C-alpha cells in the first residue's frame, strides 16, 4: 500500500468508519441494557437502562468509563428525587417542576459535573412523567443495569488501547503542523500577503488539535490505570506522554518560525522556503506512523539535515541566521519527540554523534493483559529504560 493510499484510508477511517463503529457500540450497549432490564423485572418499559447506556457510550473515547459513573450519579439522584416527590404529592399539580428544580439544585450544589447535573434533571422529569402517580423503585434498578452495561462495554469489551489512542492524536497534530509549514513555504515563494496570513493562521489554529492531544494524554492515563484489561500499559503510556508533550513545543516553535520567516530579507527567501518545506515534509512522514522506530529514526536524520545554518557568517544575512536558530529549536524538540535524551540531541546537533540511535517507542499491543508479550516474548522496547528520565543535573527540562 502506497503512502497516499494509507493517507486516504486514514482519512476515510476518521470520517466514516470510526464514527460508525462507535455508534454500533452504543447501539449494542443500549440493546443489551434493555434486554437485561426486561429479564430482571419485566415491569413497564425499562427505558432508563438503554438511555444510561447510550449517554455513556457516546462520550469521547478515553472518557466513557468516567462518563458512565457521572451518568449513574445524575440518574440516581434524579430518580430518587422524582420518586420522593411522587410519594409526597401523588398526582398533584406542580410535581414535575418541583422534582426538576430540587434535583438540579442538589446536583449543582454538591459540585457535580455538567453531565451529571443534566442527567439528574432529565431523570427527575422522566420519572414524574412515566410514573403515572405511582412510585416505582425498579427505575433505580434500570439505571444501575444501564450503567453496569456501559461500564462493561467501556472498561472491558471495547476499552481503547491507551497508547494507540494517544498516537492517533499525535498523528493528527503532526499533520496539521506539516500543513502549516507547507503553506508557509508556498507563501515565502510568492508575494501574496494573504497567503502569509493564512499560513500563520493555520499554525495558530493548532490549539484545537493540541487541546484534543492534551485531553487524550489525561484520558490515556486514566484508561491504563482504571481499565480492567490495559493495566499492563501504564508504564508505556507514561513514556508516550513525555513524547507527546513535545508536540506543543514543536507547534509553538513553528508558529514563531512562520512569523519571523516572513520578515526575512527577500534574497534569502528561496533557500528558507526549501528548508521549511523539508521540515514540514519530515513531520508529514512522521505523522503516518509516529510509533514506528524506523520512521522516527528517519525523522531524526532528516531533522538534523534541516538544522544546518542558513546565513551564518554574513552580516547581511542576520535575519536568516535568526530563522536558523528557531529552526534549530524546532529540530531539537523533534529529536526529543523521537526519543533522544537532551544530551544526545545536543551532541547530535553539534555533529558529535556518529549516529543518533532512536530507542524503540512504547508498543501499542493488539491483545490486552500483556498477552502480546507473553505470546511473543518481551520485545526489546519493553527492556529499554525510560531514557528521558536519565537527565544530568545540567539538563533543563522544557
Contacts of 209 (CB under 8 A, 6+ apart): 169, 172, 173, 176
Confidence of residue 103 (pLDDT cuts 50, 70, 90): very high
Residue listed under C-alpha cell 452504543: 26
Q: Band the pLDDT of 389: cuts 50, 70, 90.
A: very low
Q: Average the pLDDT over each of 38-42, 110-114, 118-122, 376-380 and give the range with the smallest value.
A: 376-380
**Position 8 in a domain:** no
C-alpha cell at 332: 531539537
Q: How far is CA 37 from the centre of its chain?
A: 34
Residues 277 and 346 reside in one and the same domain: yes
Q: Supply 167's cell numbers.
A: 498516537
Considering 157, 176, 209, which residue would you say is the last residue of a domain? 157
Cβ density class 232-249: b for 16+ within 10 Å, e for less: bbeebbebbbbbbbbbbb
pLDDT value of residue 267: 63
Single out the residue in 157, 185, 217 at which a domain terminates: 157
Instruction: Assess whether 189 and 290 both reside in one domain.
Output: yes
11 domain residue, yes or no: no
Residues 346, 280, single domain; the answer is yes
CA dihedral 82, 83, 86, 88 (to 10 degrees): -110
For the chain, percent of residues with pLDDT exceeding 90: 19
329 & 370 share domain: yes
Do 279 and 262 belong to one domain?
yes
**CA angle 272–275–279, rounded 5-degree value:** 140
Q: How confident is the model at residue 196 (pLDDT cuts 50, 70, 90)?
A: confident
Using a pLDDT cut of 70, give the percent of the chain over it.
Answer: 77
Tell me: the pLDDT tens digits for 255-298? 888 888 887 655 667 778 888 999 999 999 999 989 899 999 99
Compute CA 16 distance to the chain's CA centroid, rounded to the nearest angstrom: 18
Q: Give domain status of residue 255, yes or no.
A: yes
Residue 308, domain member (yes or no): yes
For residue 222, what are the domain limits? Answer: 162-389
Give domain status of residue 3, yes or no: no
What is the rounded average pLDDT of the residues 127-150?
Answer: 78
Own/partner pairs, 185-194, CB within 8 angstroms, 24+ separation: 185/273, 185/274, 185/276, 185/277, 185/280, 186/273, 187/262, 188/261, 188/262, 188/264, 188/269, 188/270, 188/272, 188/273, 188/276, 189/269, 189/270, 189/273
Of 107, 142, 157, the residue at which a domain comes to its end is 157
Number of residues written out for the chain: 398
Q: Hey, is 381 helix, strand or coil?
A: helix
The CATH number for 194's domain is: 1.20.58
- Greatest mean pLDDT among 92-106, 123-137, 257-271: 92-106
Question: What is the reported pLDDT for 231?
Answer: 66
Whether 9 maps to a domain, the answer reads no
The reply to whether 129 and 259 lie within a common domain is no
Give per-residue pLDDT as tens, 302-346.
999 888 876 554 545 677 777 888 889 999 999 999 989 999 999
b/e string for 207-230 if b means 16 or more Cβ within 10 A? eebbebbbebbebbbebbeebebb
The pLDDT, as a whole number, for residue 51 is 87
Give pLDDT, residue 191: 61
- Do 147 and 184 fall within a single domain? no
Contact 69, 155 (CB under 8 A): no
pLDDT surpassing 90 at residue 32: yes
DSSP 374: H
Distance CA 398, CA 390 (A): 15
Residue 301 is placed in which grid cell?
536524520
Claim to verify: residue 80 and residue 190 sit in the same structural domain:
no
Same structural domain for residues 148 and 214? no
Looking at the fold, whether 173 and 302 belong to one and the same domain comes out as yes
- Which residue intervals of 190-317 are DSSP H helices? 193-204, 206-226, 234-261, 269-288, 293-306
- 245 shares its domain with 331: yes
| Location of C-alpha cell 499533520 | 175
Instruction: With CA atoms as reference, report the closest residue to 217 among 158, 157, 173, 280.
Output: 173
Please state the rounded mean pLDDT for residues 125-146.
Answer: 77
Domain contains 17: no
Q: How far is CA 183 from the centre of its chain?
A: 25
Cα(143)–Cα(56) distance, integer angstroms = 12
CA distance 282 to 177: 11
Q: Whole-prediction pTM value? A: 0.69
Indicate whether 87 and 168 sit together in one domain: no
pLDDT surpassing 80 at residue 150: yes
Calculate helix-pair angle for 138-152, 114-131, nearest 10 degrees: 140
| Structural domain total, the chain | 2
In a domain, 195, yes or no: yes
- Least reliable range by pLDDT among 10-14, 114-118, 183-187, 288-292: 10-14
- In this structure, what DSSP letter does residue 40 have? H
* Rounded Cα–Cα distance for residues 174 and 250 (Å): 9
Amino acid at each position: 500500500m502506497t503512502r497516499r493510499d494509507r493517507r486516504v484510508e486514514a482519512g476515510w477511517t476518521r470520517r466514516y468508519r470510526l464514527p460508525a463503529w462507535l455508534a454500533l457500540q452504543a447501539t449494542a450497549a443500549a440493546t443489551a441494557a434493555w434486554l437485561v432490564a426486561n429479564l430482571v423485572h419485566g415491569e413497564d418499559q425499562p427505558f432508563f437502562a438503554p438511555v444510561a447506556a447510550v449517554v455513556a457510550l457516546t462520550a469521547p473515547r478515553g472518557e466513557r468509563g468516567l462518563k458512565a459513573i457521572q451518568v449513574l450519579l445524575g440518574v440516581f439522584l434524579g430518580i430518587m428525587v422524582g420518586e420522593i416527590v411522587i410519594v409526597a404529592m401523588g398526582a398533584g399539580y406542580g410535581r414535575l417542576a418541583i422534582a426538576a428544580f430540587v434535583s438540579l439544585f442538589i446536583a449543582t450544589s454538591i459540585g457535580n459535573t455538567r453531565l451529571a447535573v443534566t442527567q439528574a434533571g432529565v431523570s427527575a422529569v422522566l420519572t414524574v412523567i412515566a410514573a403515572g402517580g405511582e412510585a416505582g423503585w425498579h427505575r433505580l434498578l434500570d439505571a444501575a443495569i444501564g450503567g453496569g452495561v456501559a461500564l462493561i462495554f467501556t472498561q472491558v469489551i471495547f476499552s481503547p488501547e491507551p497508547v494507540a489512542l494517544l498516537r492517533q492524536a499525535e498523528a493528527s497534530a503532526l499533520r496539521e503542523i506539516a500543513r502549516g509549514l507547507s503553506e508557509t513555504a508556498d507563501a515565502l515563494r510568492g508575494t501574496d500577503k494573504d497567503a502569509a496570513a493564512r499560513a500563520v493562521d493555520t499554525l495558530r489554529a493548532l490549539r484545537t488539535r493540541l487541546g484534543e492531544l492534551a485531553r487524550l494524554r489525561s484520558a490515556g492515563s486514566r484508561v491504563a490505570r482504571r481499565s480492567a484489561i490495559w493495566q499492563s500499559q501504564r508504564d508505556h503510556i507514561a513514556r508516550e506522554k513525555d513524547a507527546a508533550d513535545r508536540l506543543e513545543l514543536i507547534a509553538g516553535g513553528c508558529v514563531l518560525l512562520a512569523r519571523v520567516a516572513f520578515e526575512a530579507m527577500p534574497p534569502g527567501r528561496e533557500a528558507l522556503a526549501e528548508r521549511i518545506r523539508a521540515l514540514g515534509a519530515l513531520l508529514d512522514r512522521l505523522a503516518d506512523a509516529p510509533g514506528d522506530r524506523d520512521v522516527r529514526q528517519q525523522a531524526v536524520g532528516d531533522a538534523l539535515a534541516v538544522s544546518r545554518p542558513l546565513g551564518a557568517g554574513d552580516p547581511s544575512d542576520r535575519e536568516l541566521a535568526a530563522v536558523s536558530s528557531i529552526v534549530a529549536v524546532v529540530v531539537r524538540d523533534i529529536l526529543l519527540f523521537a526519543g533522544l535524551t537532551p544530551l544526545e540531541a545536543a551532541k547530535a546537533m553539534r555533529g558529535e554523534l556518529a549516529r543518533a540511535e532512536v530507542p524503540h517507542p512504547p508498543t501499542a499491543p493488539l491483545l490486552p493483559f500483556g498477552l502480546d508479550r507473553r505470546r511473543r516474548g518481551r520485545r526489546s522496547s519493553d527492556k529499554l529504560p525510560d531514557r528521558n528520565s536519565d537527565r544530568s543535573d545540567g539538563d533543563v527540562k522544557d
